Amino acid sequence: MQIDNVAAVVTGAASGLGNATATALAAKGARVFGLDRDIATAPQIDGVTYIEADVTSEADVRAAIAHATEQGPLRVVVNCAGIGTPARILGKAGIHDLALYAKIVQVNLIGTFTVLAIAAEAIATTDPLDHAQRGVVINTASVAAFEGQIGQAAYSSAKSGVVGLTLPAARDLAQHGIRVNTIAPGIVETPMLASLSEGVRTSLAAGVPFPQRLAQPSEYADLVAFIIDHDYLNGETIRMDGALRLAPR
């Protein structure tokens, strides 16, 4: 499916993976609508319109999707919004904060589903292209979905939920010509990692078999573009991790 001259929605677009994706899609000719809770410091990019929205709010998501659809046809949605505050199930202060656990699942999993479902409703109304395809939704999981580390109980279970959602969502939406795929990144050099010391970042890179470095957000964006273009990729979770398998800690 071609990216040029279609509307695309990217969540978590103000920074990191979402910003790299929004930039790449706009460069390929898409009219990109970047959703984020805080867009005040988002870099200005030609072809990208930022919309302040919380992916856990049905009203926010519906309004953003409606706006993108008006500029449509809406054919591409990329879910990058996510949070990952670490906490042990049983720590020195007691059990894992239950509200924190619920929030992480709410943003990473339920937020992803909310955007997926509302966007699919809009994409299903577009005119079909070759082979009756109408659009593609790409979600973001993590290698932690498969090898969650100590302190990642909430994050890992939420991202595992995204992986588990992928195939049934692809099957559900097949009749509407909508593909659904997921990317599970390894350690990516995002603003979150930038706060770590150089020594810690070097140590993280050393744990990647090959290439022995941190991934770049632009590489995630490149994979998004490839999935959009490759019409036969559907219902798949693709690891982008340099063959990394996470140790317990």
Residue 146, both tokens: 């498969």
Cis peptide before 211 (omega within 30 of 0): yes
Other Cβ atoms less than 10 A from the Cβ of 142: the count is: 29
Question: What is the C-alpha to C-alpha distance for residues 212 and 243, in angstroms, rounded to an integer?
Answer: 10
Q: Which residues pair with 152 in a beta bridge?
A: 87
Q: 155 catalytic, yes or no?
A: yes
In angstroms, how far apart are the furthest CA atoms of the chain? 58
Cis peptide before 168 (omega within 30 of 0): no
Catalytic one among 50, 101, 155, 220? 155
What are the E-state strand segments in 67-124?
74-78, 90-91, 94-95
Q: Which residues pair with 138 in a beta bridge?
A: 78, 181
Tell which residue, 88, 98, 142, 140, has the closest CA to residue 116.
140
User: What is the sign, positive or negative, of the torsion defined by CA atoms of 36, 41, 46, 51?
Assistant: positive
The residues that are catalytic are 155
